[in-house]
A and B are shown apart, each in its own frame.
Chain A
Amino acid sequence: DSGVTQTPKHLITATGQRVTLRCSPRSGDLSVYWYQQSLDQGLQFLIQYYNGEERAKGNILERFSAQQFPDLHSELNLSSLELGDSALYFCASRPWGSGAYNEQFFGPGTRLTVL
């Protein structure tokens, strides 16, 4: 158990719909990363938040957005869903400061199926 929690574990929805994925980082970790794992794109970085502020953006679609709240949990919002958005979405958190070894701890993922 990495200490990172993600809900829900599975999500099945229809095209055109909107969903919200939730992530709670490890206690004390300020940085949250979102990754998408799909068959055709592999594992790719979407977006990072640090202490409530957006820090970096990767290959994230305009239909997707995220935020990090004062309690440090993060939500990834996916809208106007398409079949190709079906994927496993991971959240990872990372400690900050010296001696942190720069390791990212991954949650169990949310499997999204768009029908």
Chain B
Amino acid sequence: AQTVTQSQPEMSVQEAETVTLSCTYDTSESNYYLFWYKQPPSRQMILVIRQEAYKQQNATENRFSVNFQKAAKSFSLKISDSQLGDTAMYFCAFMALNNAGNMLTFGGGTRLMVKP
């Protein structure tokens, strides 16, 4: 079974600054994906960024980038030029690519507040 840990329950950042959210995971799987999902006050789950474990290059999506350290089983999210609309809960999630269903295992979440 997989576990995902987000050690920062809450964080805050000033608008336009950079913030990094931490995530570690534990698995014996060799083939998997990692994701960051954003959940704003509307409660909708929105995919922010994905990382395939076999890719060494860190994924980037505009202001969002990850630092994927496979050996350390670490997957942090960096948000650059933070905007008020980035205020949300952020969930790190793991998905194994096997025949067991490919469900998502989520961390406990980090509540991010962007301050003006």
**A residues whose Cβ falls under 8 Å from a Cβ of B:** 2, 31, 33, 35, 42-45, 48, 55-56, 58, 88, 90, 92, 94, 101-104, 106, 108-109, 111
- Knowing A42-B109, A102-B97, A103-B50, say if A35 contacts B43 (CB, 8 Å): no
Chain A interface mostly: strand
Q: Kindly list chain A residues whose C-beta atoms are within 8 Å of the C-beta of B45.
A: 90, 92, 106, 109
CB distance from A88 to the nearest CB of B (A): 6
Q: How far is the CA of A101 from the CA of B55 in the complex (A)?
A: 13
Q: Quick one: CB contact mask for B75-116 with A, threshold 8 Å, 1 for yes?
A: 000000000000000010001010011111110110000000
- Knowing A42-B108, A42-B109, A43-B91, say if A103 contacts B103 (CB, 8 Å): no
Q: Are B101 and A55 in contact (CB under 8 A)?
A: yes
CB distance from A50 to the nearest CB of B (A): 8
Q: How far is the CA of A101 from the CA of B91 in the complex (A)?
A: 18
Q: Are B97 and A43 in contact (CB under 8 A)?
A: no
- Knowing A42-B109, A101-B50, A102-B97, say if A35 contacts B44 (CB, 8 Å): no
Q: Are A35 and B104 in contact (CB under 8 A)?
A: yes
Q: Kindly list chain A residues whose C-beta atoms are within 8 Å of the C-beta of B37.
A: 106
Q: Kindly list chain A residues whose C-beta atoms are within 8 Å of the C-beta of B46.
A: 106
Q: Are B43 and A102 in contact (CB under 8 A)?
A: no
B101: contacting residue among A43, A56, A92, A103, CB under 8 A: A56
Q: Are A102 and B103 in contact (CB under 8 A)?
A: no
Q: Kindly list chain B residues whose C-beta atoms are within 8 Å of the C-beta of A43.
A: 91, 106, 109
Q: Is B16 part of the contact surface with A, judged by Cβ < 8 Å?
A: no
Q: Kindly list chain A residues whose C-beta atoms are within 8 Å of the C-beta of B95.
A: 102, 104
